[in-house]
Amino acid sequence: MDNDKYSEELNVAVRVVHMACDLCQKVQKGLLSTTFDDNEVKSKDDDSLVTIADWSVQATVSWILSNTFSSENVSIVAEEDVQTLSKPEAAGLLGKVVSTVNECLAEASRYGLKCPDKPLGPSKILAAISHCNSKGGPLGRHWVLDPVDGTLGFVRGDQYAVALALIDNGEVVVGVLGCPNYHVKRDRHNKQQQNHISSEVSVPSADLLEEGCVMYTKKGTGEAWVQPIVYGDRKYEWPNFAKQVRVSPIDDPALATFCEPVERANSNHSYTAGLASSVGLRNKPLRVYSMVKYAAIAQGDAEIFMKFARAGYKEKIWDHAAGALIVQEAGGVKDSDRILSYCVLPGGKHVFSSHTNLNRASYTDSFLPSLQNKSLFHTHLRLPLTPLRCPTPARPIYAKKNAASMELTKRPTSPSILLTHLESSMKQFQRLMAVIFIFIEIASPIPLYGWQVWSISPAEAVLYSPETKTLPRTGELALRRAIPANTNMKSIQDSLEDISYLLRIPQRKPFGTMEGNVKKALKIATDEKASILASIPAELKEEGLVLYTSLIDGKGGLQKLLQHIKDKDTDKVSVGLASTLDTIAQLELLQAPGISFLLPQQYLKYPRLTGRGIVEFTVEKVDGSAFSPEAAGEAKSTAKIQVVVDGYSAPLTAGNFAKLVVDGAYDGMKLTCANLAILSDSKMGKTTGYSVPLEIKPAGQFEPLYRTTLSVQDGELPVLPLSVYGAVAMAHSDVSDENSSPSQFFFYLYDKRNSGLGGLSFDEGQFSVFGYTTIGRDILPQIKTGDIIRSAKLVEGQDRLVLPPLEN
């Protein structure tokens, strides 16, 4: 390739992405401020989010490209449209987009680009956004833009990317990737605990780009570069302290790190864990929002990117074009016949495919509908995959690029070639430099075959899943782990919870290991005091300081616990540990005044609980018998049961339940005893409650899933497991299992003798668990069919109960 070819396009693309990153950071700062207007974040038809930054970046980039290359008929393929902004009720939203765009374009000269002669009006802004509606194609030039990739991370103050690529006659020739929050370092990857939050921004230091970065490349150069983002009043001057980036030189799978999407909707974490284990990967994954994963690969912060097919989902060209080219030119592709190609399928669907000489069928035209199938996109690595079963038969389609015709052609190849390729890869893990390992589902009506030899069965995946070993077995433990608190507190908690397992070792206890765990927790607590207290709202600071002091030096604090361990007094260690963990939970609750995620727009019509609540039941015997208290005391016909309901993990389910309690819906209700459960009456008379969707938050995820169960056999486990004695959950709706019952709940009487492999309930992951019995567990087995709930009261948490607008 001519070294000067596309140089001007690359220059302009890098500059406009710098502008876009500055715009996004300003918008993100506003979203995270206390004056945030939730009208600035909208849900699209597919439930994905869009913000004023998405529209503003698209308008800005569109205007700059169109005016800089005005002699060309600039074709731009981008994600957003103007339907929402064009509605009369969106006038305020459009006004914010207009002001944001004009503020950004006014700074264009600082980046060496032309400014508009005067501010753009709403009609010109909408026109600029609409200009990005090109359908693309295998011929001609097309710019491809993702204005904000990873919008969910963006609104959470986490990672996101601005991606811009140029495609010329079907080939990606320029790629620019802006990563305003990218400060991830390899030495932090393996310090994650339980894979809770793997998208972590480190504190800037001398070896980091302090203000985020922009990566860029041009096809055929064999080089990729990174620049620090220009902020403030500093003028952009090429090459802006650019440094070359290269993929990782690591060739030992035990040292390699793979990255994957944060959200379960885009990745099956247990499945990738199983696959990683089968090929010898031992490091914890780096879970990052957006195309920042490509930046991590290109800069050597990770070696592998795994993303698997999702039924009905078509990969979009703007999600991969820029990042894939950057990885390729940074050294991620070695085989000359594996060339990134851009193809547009009928209906304007944009996909990437990898091109090798392996194939099972012959087609004359790559743009036929028959090509809408699963394809494998990777670079050059041979992974030592263990031959395993695949639950869904599939046939790999590979293609080789015909350089003369610029079309994709196919060659028939025997399946034995694929087997030989995999068998040889079992013997050697060849140069693990940088891999993008993506199975892309393109919704084909054609069944695919032949992937059985290198897939992993659900049964084996669950065996590899680390979560199965640490599933909480008590309500208190599950509730403590469910609190979305400061990461330092979670690290302290994890260290101390390990001691609970060590105490179970018979005979000689590993007191040395316990001592190390407490010293680690104590060091974090003292070194990170400011961070721990800074996470507590101002009005709760005084209470937080008291708890913090108690955690360090209190009667049940870390210093006392350390002394008990040195004295090798098992009983005191056990009591002190429980006290310390209770203090930690109280501190974490102060750090989490509300839920840590955005509810989908369509569910805001339901009641919701934005934290914890406590419901107290008074149950009564109706047959003249009495409840026998666990401790010495008088037998009575009534007994108290307290349930902690968790709005952090199940805000809709807990909110609906709490509202029914406040309304007195359960007062006088009969109870029915069934196998392993105590159910409330399914008939509520005039009070029906809300038929809220099934709501389950998977372990390691940021937010719940709705209208879907978890696949335990695939290793998916909930934050609030059913496999705990005294778990409280909603029954299923009579109409659909995708919804919970409007009012019927049950106490689950977990019995390990009636459980499956690993002690999991056979119904695990099938119901919306929203709390646990914390007081009165001894009363549950004494309840008989016909006993009643005399009263149910929300004794704590009513201030966290948010009712729909019509209910206020």
Map residue 647 onto helix, strand or coil: coil
CA distance 622 to 617: 16
Does the annotation place 149 within a ligand binding site?
yes
Backbone angles phi, psi at 672, to 5 degrees: -125, 130
Q: DSSP string of 458-496?
A: HHHHHHH-GGGGS---SHHHHHHHT----HHHHHHHHHH
Active-site residue among 68, 151, 580, 610?
151
The residue among 356, 352, 393 whose CA lies nearest residue 371 is 352
Map residue 188 onto helix, strand or coil: helix
Q: Angle 511-527/487-502 helices, nearest 10 degrees?
A: 170
CA 467 to chain CA centroid, Å, is: 16
In b/e form, how buried is each residue of 387-401, taking b as 16+ CB within 10 angstroms? ebeeeeebbbbbbbb
Contact in structure between 209 and 183 (CB atoms under 8 Å): yes
CA distance 73 to 79: 19
Contact in structure between 800 and 613 (CB atoms under 8 Å): yes
Six-digit token pair at 228? 């620090």
428: Cβ contacts below 8 Å, ≥ 6 apart = 382, 384
Annotated active-site residue 151? The verdict is: yes
Does the annotation place 146 within a ligand binding site?
yes
CA distance 337 to 358: 11
The residue among 366, 379, 8, 370 whose CA lies nearest residue 170 is 366
* Residue position matching structure tokens 């596309």: 6
For residue 698, give Cα distances in angstroms to 211, 277, 593: 33, 21, 21
Contact in structure between 613 and 647 (CB atoms under 8 Å): yes
CA distance 139 to 107: 34
The beta-carbon contacts of 566-572 under 8 Å, at least 24 apart in sequence, are 566/511, 566/515, 568/509, 568/511, 570/503, 570/509
Annotated active-site residue 714? The verdict is: no
Dihedral through CA 388, CA 390, CA 394, CA 398, nearest 10? -40
CA distance 375 to 258: 20
CA distance 646 to 769: 9
Active-site residue among 22, 51, 54, 653?
54
CA distance 523 to 188: 18
Annotated binding site: 79, 146, 149, 319
- Binding annotation for Mg(2+): 79, 146, 149, 319
Q: Which residues are catalytic?
A: 54, 151
